[in-house]
A and B are shown apart, each in its own frame.
Chain A
Amino acid sequence: AQKITQTQPGMFVQEKEAVTLDCTYDTSDPSYGLFWYKQPSSGEMIFLIYQGSYDQQNATEGRYSLNFQKARKSANLVISASQLGDSAMYFCAMREGRKTSYDKVIFGPGTSLSVIP
């Protein structure tokens, strides 16, 4: 069964510092995708970054990078140079299957990040 674990319910980070949000997953399917979403207080989910299980390199998108450790089944999100606007809930998610035939998306419980000026 699919499962996503985010062990940090809440985190604080100083503005301009880097922060790592943890995510571990459980799947027996060799093909899967991992995602991170941001949900500000406004409620709208924002796609941040994607990592495929067969991707050789860690994904990066601007200030966001995904530290993918396949053997440990972890997909931590690293935010560099935190900004006040980064304060939000962050969700790790997974979808089993190949790009042409995906299964449903499973979300983790989320981590609340607060950036301190």
Chain B
Amino acid sequence: KAGVTQTPRYLIKTRGQQVTLSCSPISGHRSVSWYQQTPGQGLQFLFEYFSETQRNKGNFPGRFSGRQFSNSRSEMNVSTLELGDSALYLCASSFRGREYEQYFGPGTRLTVT
């Protein structure tokens, strides 16, 4: 079974631009979560989607948004990028009823210059 895939793997953007990251969960997984990882703040929860509905949301500004499609694929968007948005963005999927067992993708390394 294929794992969680994230595209792109690396991205360089300039301040003020916007970016869209994509995540394809493991087949059969309908829950997708997004995390931001930085050296200073560690791993922080962004949001979680289940069946195209946002189920939980972390403490991030409205510039961070996401969505989930009917095939469970998910995208997250960051508008008006700031230098502090430079981070590893991780996506994780899980099977319904086993949300505690999350399978992570390799992440997207975003650098904002």
Contacts and interface: CB of A to CB of B under 8 A. Distances in A.
B64 interface: no
B90 A45 contact: yes
A109 B39 CA distance: 9
Interface residues of B, number: 25
A30 interface: no
B58 interface: yes
Interface string B44-62: 1100100000001110000
Interface in B60-100: 88, 90, 92, 97-100
Please report whether the interface of chain B is mostly helix, strand, loop or mixed according to DSSP. strand
Contact of A95 (B99, B105, B107, B109): B99
Given A43-B88, A44-B107, A109 B101 contact: no
A81 interface: no
Contacts of B88: 43
* Interface residue tally on A, bucketed by range: 20 to 34
A70 interface: no
A44 B102 contact: no
Contact of B100 (A44, A95, A104, A107): A95
A102 B99 contact: yes
Interface of B: 33, 35, 42-45, 48, 56-58, 88, 90, 92, 97-107, 109
Interface of A: 33, 35, 37, 42-47, 50, 52, 91, 93, 95, 99-100, 102-110
